């Protein structure tokens, strides 16, 4: 295999640098067992631990997990409150553990709508782990791709008005710098569990060239073997970024 990770058969063999996951199916997992949805969410947290562990062990650089979307406020009040409590309790328990494992914690999304105590906990987690150098764990909470693009446009518009940017400065590279994921590599592999084949307002801009993987496995059942299978599928894909297959196979272009 050559230095850029392309082997002569044209298959990219490298691990994905950045994996982004829509963790879906907690509710159905519980309902199948005649249990309340809350139990499904608790089981979902356990699955998160295993997946984080796997990524840290396998030198994945960034793992982004969609934990709560900007549309999830539409759920029954009880479920929203439960998710907030679970989030708070999990953070309280896990921050030191993540730190001990050299994992950097980050949050993306509009946190202004969260209870202040929760916002403080999130900031504390980010501060405490900011210098860690193993996996970066990005939790998307009250995140929406539309929100992300709007907040980026707002920052750019403010700079235009202030005269610190001109219209000609606007291009995809510049826009990237204003998104919530500015300093992260673009996702290489997107996974959605739970059987739905949609993006549900996740990383709309950032997924432009991401390899997509959908599985019917419900999130609480998604284990390390399931992730290994998704990564294996990724490794069989030929990423062309607009080039022809021949260009990629003869390595006449750099991707
Ligand atoms: C995903 O599981 C978790 C969150 C959205 C917080 P769901 O709660 O959407 O589970 P299903 O889709 O109803 O099974
Ligand atoms: C997407 O799942 C959001 C998260 C997993 C956090 P949903 O279950 O909310 O998505 P839809 O509503 O079925 O598209
Ligand atoms: Mg769902």
- Spell out the CATH class of 18-254: alpha beta
How far, in Å, is the centroid of ligand 2 from the Cα of 139?
A: 14
Dihedral sign for Cα atoms in the order 40, 42, 48, 50: negative
Kindly identify the ligand whose nearest atom is closest to the C-alpha of 142: 2
Q: Do 241 and 66 form a contact (C-beta atoms < 8 A)?
A: no
Q: Do 66 and 202 form a contact (C-beta atoms < 8 A)?
A: yes
Backbone angles phi, psi at 75, to 5 degrees: -70, 165
**The ligand 2 atom nearest the CA atom of 68:** 6
**DSSP-H helix ranges across 163-208:** 172-178
**For residue range 100-151, what is the model confidence (pLDDT) as tens digits?**
999 999 999 999 999 999 999 999 999 999 999 999 999 999 999 999 999 9
Question: What's the mean pLDDT in 57-69?
Answer: 97
End-to-end CA distance of the chain: 15
> Where along the chain do its domains lie?
18-254
Q: How far apart are CA 225 and CA 222, in angstroms?
A: 8
Long-range own/partner contacts, residues 241-244 (CB < 8 A, 24 or more apart): 241/209
- Is the full-model pTM beyond 0.85? yes
């Amino acid at each position: 295999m050559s230095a850029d990770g392309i082997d002569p058969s044209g298959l990219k063999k490298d691990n994905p640098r950045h994996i982004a996951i829509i963790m879906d199916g907690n509710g159905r997992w519980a309902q199948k067992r005649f249990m309340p949805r809350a139990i499904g969410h608790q089981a979902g947290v356990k699955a998160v631990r295993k997946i984080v562990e796997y990524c840290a062990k396998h030198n994945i650089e960034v793992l982004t997990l969609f934990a709560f979307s900007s549309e999830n406020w539409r759920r029954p009040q009880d479920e929203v409150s439960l998710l907030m409590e679970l989030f708070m309790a999990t953070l309280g328990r896990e921050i030191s553990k993540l730190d001990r494992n050299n994992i950097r914690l980050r949050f993306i999304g509009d946190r202004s709508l969260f209870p202040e105590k929760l916002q403080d906990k999130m900031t504390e987690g980010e501060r405490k782990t900011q210098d860690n150098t193993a996996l970066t764990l990005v939790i998307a909470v009250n995140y929406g791709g539309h929100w992300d693009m709007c907040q980026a446009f707002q920052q750019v518009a403010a700079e235009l008005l202030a005269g610190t940017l001109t219209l000609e400065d606007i291009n995809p590279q510049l826009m990237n710098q204003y998104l919530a994921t500015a300093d992260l590599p673009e996702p290489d592999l997107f996974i959605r569990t739970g059987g739905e084949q949609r993006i549900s307002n996740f990383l709309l801009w950032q997924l432009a060239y991401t390899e997509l993987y959908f599985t019917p496995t419900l999130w609480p059942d998604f284990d390390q073997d399931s992730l290994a299978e998704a990564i294996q599928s990724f490794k069989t894909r030929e990423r062309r970024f607009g080039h022809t297959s021949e260009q990629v196979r003869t390595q006449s272009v750099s991707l």
